[in-house]
Amino acid sequence: MIRVFVSASAAEPFAAAPLSRRLEPLLSATFEGGFIPGVNRFDWSSLGPDARMAGPFMSPAWRSIAAAGRFERLPTTYHGFARRVAAARYAAGLFMVTPPDAEGLCSFGPTIDFPPTALERCAIRIGVINPSLPRLPGSPTTPVGVFDELIELNTPLVEYVVRAPGSVETRIIDHVAALIPNGATVQAGIGRLGDALWAGLAGKEGLSLHSGMICDPVAALIRQGVFARVTTGSLLGSRAFYAEAADLPGVVMAPALETHDAARLARIPTFVAVNSAIEVDLLGQVNAEWVDGEAISGPGGLPDFIGGARRSPGGLPIIALGSTARGGAISRIVPHLDVPPTLPASEVGIVVTEHGAVDLRALQGEARAMALIEIAAPDHRASLRQAWRRGV
């Protein structure tokens, strides 16, 4: 199967694809990248009559092309996808980079999770020169001469809008922030809960940040001195965030092979991983991918970061979620998962809802189930106890 690598996240070069002459014979290939649900919306399968799209996530936006057999959801974590890219052979790659500097070097800017790794794995390398891409001091560079074709395209970067937290998210983050000690190294995923975490860290001291992506609120915390050091593979946010990114002190860019390596993460003292989920069952199994039996995402970095935090000296592997969905009608603490778990019960650590936090690492069986029921919504606790007694 012919595969073409595509940069994604903030640096998705979809507008350049129709302009490439070297890509014309490959428009029925499978276009593969770390496309982010809700962020990267372009349908790469639309480029050719037999074109397909592939990535480690699913999104409702891609459901129709998946039903037509034109989307391949790769069953792997973020680090697993990075390893896949490192071992792949791509017919071509489409990379968004900055204009070359005086030494002829192009920067990958704010998105280095997969592109620098993929560059060496592509038979044909297509560079999309975009002046809108910020040149970050710590971002990898490549000589402009490595590209077989250059396309100049001044286009805005893909943006990510941080949503204001609601009352439930605020209560959850209050519980999470209370667990995080000064001096910890923190990770959080994007999404409403992850975005809400940053405000909860104001006033903390001596923190570091090690995460796959950072967004707008992190810039303010860096300016305030909350984070002395930030390691990330991707910046994703507003145009204003991209514009100031080059001036943020202490930011180190690293590929996903490093940022999501559980073995590396385990060597970071007091590594705190905060990730959201869709539901947790009374055994402690975590679902972060499925709603009503349909995939809406992928495991992403959750297993990578939770695994690292669980093995870190003093680490805190935290799963955070609201206790209910659909206006309180459905409990998100459930008797038993009906879908494959994103995280097995053996890997779960601390679970947090707006009703409190429980550390499941030392709990098994009924003690674990009862602890989870205590942080479920009060209206659902009785039915959860009955389900446990009947046997899940």
Q: What is the pLDDT of residues 280-325, one digit of tens each?
A: 999 999 999 999 988 999 999 999 999 999 999 999 999 999 999 9
Q: Based on the domain organization, do 107 and 53 belong to the same domain?
A: yes
Q: Based on the domain organization, do 99 and 204 belong to the same domain?
A: no
367 assigned to some structural domain: yes
Q: Residue 10 belongs to what domain range?
A: 3-152
Which of 48, 80, 44, 75 is closest to 62 using CA atoms?
Answer: 44
In the numeric block, which tokens belong to residue 88?
């792949």
Q: In angstroms, what CA-CA distances link 296 with 38, 268, 278?
A: 10, 31, 10
Q: Based on the domain organization, do 205 and 266 belong to the same domain?
A: yes
Q: Based on the domain organization, do 18 and 91 belong to the same domain?
A: yes
Q: Based on the domain organization, do 45 and 141 belong to the same domain?
A: yes
The string of DSSP letters for 125-150 reads EEEEE-TTS---TTS-EEEGGG-SEE
Q: Based on the domain organization, do 206 and 147 belong to the same domain?
A: no
Mean pLDDT score of the chain, rounded to an integer? 96
Domain count for the chain, please give it.
2
DSSP 8-state symbol, 161: P
* Domain endpoint, select from 152, 187, 212: 152
Q: Based on the domain organization, do 113 and 187 belong to the same domain?
A: no
- Whether 237 has a pLDDT exceeding 90, the answer reads yes
Q: Based on the domain organization, do 141 and 186 belong to the same domain?
A: no
Q: Based on the domain organization, do 190 and 116 belong to the same domain?
A: no
* Domain endpoint, select from 109, 125, 152: 152
Q: Based on the domain organization, do 129 and 175 belong to the same domain?
A: no
Which of 7, 75, 3, 70 is closest to 36 using CA atoms?
Answer: 7
Q: Based on the domain organization, do 216 and 340 belong to the same domain?
A: yes
Instruction: State pTM to two decimals.
Output: 0.96
DSSP 8-state symbol, 267: T
Q: Based on the domain organization, do 218 and 125 belong to the same domain?
A: no
pLDDT digits (tens, 9 = 90+) for 335-350: 999 999 999 999 999 9
pLDDT of residue 1: 86
pLDDT of residue 11: 96
